[in-house]
C-alpha cells in the first residue's frame, strides 16, 4: 500500500505543476530534484532533456516521458475519490 500511496502522491504533486510546451522549467526542476533525492545522477542535454542514471547491476532499462502538458493544462487540481483520480480531461493526457 505504501508504494501505491507514494505513486498517487507523486502524481498529484506533479500534475499540479503548470508545464505547457515552452514553459517546462518548474517541472524540470521538480523532476530533477526528485531523481537526485533517489540517488540518480542527473544532467541535461543540449535540448534540455532530463537524463538520469542510476548505476547498478543487471540489464539497464529506459523510461521516457514528456515534461510538458497540453493546453488547457494550467491550474490542474486533481481530486482523489477513493481509488479514482478525477479532474479535467487534460489530466488524462
Q: What is the CA radius of gyration of the chain?
A: 15
The band of 90, judged by pLDDT with boundaries at 50, 70 and 90, is very low
- Tens of pLDDT, residues 7-62: 888 988 998 899 999 999 999 999 999 999 999 999 999 988 999 999 999 998 88
pTM, entire model: 0.80
Domain of residue 24 covers: 2-92
* Count of structural domains, the chain: 1
Higher pLDDT, 32 or 69: 32
| Residue 73 to residue 82: CA distance in whole angstroms | 24
Amino acid at each position: 500500500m505504501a508504494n501505491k500511496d507514494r505513486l498517487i502522491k507523486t502524481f498529484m504533486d506533479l500534475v499540479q505543476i503548470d508545464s505547457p510546451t515552452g514553459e517546462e522549467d518548474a517541472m524540470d526542476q521538480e523532476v530533477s530534484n526528485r531523481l537526485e533525492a533517489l540517488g540518480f545522477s542527473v544532467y541535461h542535454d543540449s535540448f534540455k532533456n532530463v537524463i538520469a542514471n542510476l548505476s547498478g547491476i543487471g540489464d539497464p532499462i529506459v523510461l521516457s516521458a514528456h515534461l510538458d502538458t497540453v493546453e488547457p493544462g494550467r491550474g490542474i487540481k486533481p481530486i482523489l475519490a477513493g481509488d479514482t483520480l478525477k479532474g479535467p480531461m487534460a489530466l488524462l493526457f
